[in-house]
Amino acid sequence: MFAPGLAERNAASRDGDRSFGKQLSEVSEGSAVVSKKEVLSKPVATIEVGKKSISGLLDEMSQTGFQGKKLGEVAKIWTEMAKQKGLTVFLGLTGSLSTTGQWKIIRWLVENRYVDVVVSTGANISEDILEALGYHYYQGTWLADDEALLRMKVDRFYDVYADEMQYRKLERTIYSFANTLDPKKVYSTREFLYQFGGYLNKKGIDSIVAAAHRAKVPMYSPGLIDSGYGVALSLLRREKGKMIRLDQTKDMEELAQIAEKTKRTGVVYLGGGVPKDTIQLSTIIKSLSKGGEEETPHEYAIQITADSPQWGGLSGCTLEEAISWGKIKSDAKKATLYADITLALPIVAHALNEKTSGRSHPPDLSWVFKN
């Protein structure tokens, strides 16, 4: 056989162009035709300086543009979620936010039921324990001499410092709790963290996990071992021969059951990665368990991320892309804010505090803890 010549390749290229052009034409035909008057129907709000609340400023910003508009939209959508009946709000929490003064905001969101289910990295729900024990993180610089910090046993999180010896005490707190567990039993991370929350409450250590225990908010961590929890459980096995086993399939099944039983769901993603996709997959399992012919997507969705979509990763994946998977409703109330979470979260949380007084109708998930 001969390789196709230039003429054949050009013909194939033209066929491909025609096919693509036909697809674009079909998309255009399906799009609504709008008039210039409709296109230019919403003037941009010009912000004037004056005495106003944070929530009032964000309302104005939601009528501007760029990421300022998205910040306002995020606050507006979360406020609406807080006022909904029969809506279960999932929080996906990633990164190392607890080292940067954010953990008490997360604890407040849990205590006031602005979120009903938490899926977190291990770091966020362990590193807050250091401050709950009475220690501190310290302001530093990203231009530090890291070899000097190593000699001083000072750990660096970009421009935040921690005393390594104090950090080991938070790991030993986890170790001491894990040593009370039955090694013959297999735990989901939700069961493990719920029991840990009870342990911390008895000790007067008021962390995020402790607050979730009191508020009966189920908490899951698909990356639990990638943190001080992993260090503590590994040392427990080495030093005492005690292995604590975690069943993450049980977590996934339970998350899908929550989505099934509560019917309407909304999501808040602070970052992305594994916590985000774990929540997204709960809708897929819910759909497939019913035959997979009908999607069961989230009705509300908020995402705050510093990543971007063109690299193909979950942290930057758009909420629009999730529509193709049946994870987010095509007409969902949604907003993606491209920003550092440490900039946006304190502002949005204060706006929530001004506009609402907690959730008046949070779902009852007490059944989860009876499984």
In a domain, 20, yes or no: no
Query: What residues pair up with 169 in beta bridges, in sequence order?
Result: none
CATH assignment at residue 320: 3.40.910.10
Task: Say what the pLDDT of residue 292 is.
Answer: 77
In a domain, 247, yes or no: yes
Active site residue 240: no
Task: Say what the pLDDT of residue 5 is.
Answer: 54
| Nearest residue to 49 via CA among 38, 34, 39, 60 | 60
Q: Which pLDDT tens digit goes with each residue over 194-229? A: 999 999 999 999 999 999 999 999 999 999 999 999
Q: Is 265 helix (H, G, I), strand (E, B) or coil?
A: strand
pLDDT band at 289 (very low <50, low <70, confident <90, very high): confident
In a domain, 65, yes or no: no
Catalytic residue among 327, 329, 334, 355: 327
In a domain, 220, yes or no: yes
Please name the residues in contact with 241: beta carbons below 8 A apart, sequence gap of 6 or more.
Answer: none
How many domains in the chain? 1
Q: Cβ distance 266 to 83 under 8 Å?
A: no
In a domain, 81, yes or no: yes
In a domain, 25, yes or no: no
pLDDT beyond 80 at 4: no
Task: Say what the pLDDT of residue 6 is.
Answer: 47
pLDDT beyond 90 at 181: yes
In a domain, 17, yes or no: no
Task: Say what the pLDDT of residue 20 is.
Answer: 43
Query: What residues pair up with 103 in beta bridges, in sequence order?
Result: none
Q: Which amino acid is at 313?
A: G
In a domain, 34, yes or no: no
Mean pLDDT of 314-340: 94
Range of 272's domain?
75-370
Residue 204 region by backbone torsions, left for phi larger than 0, else alpha for psi between -120 and 50, else beta: left
List the single range of 38-42, 143-147, 280-284, 293-297 with lowest mean pLDDT: 293-297
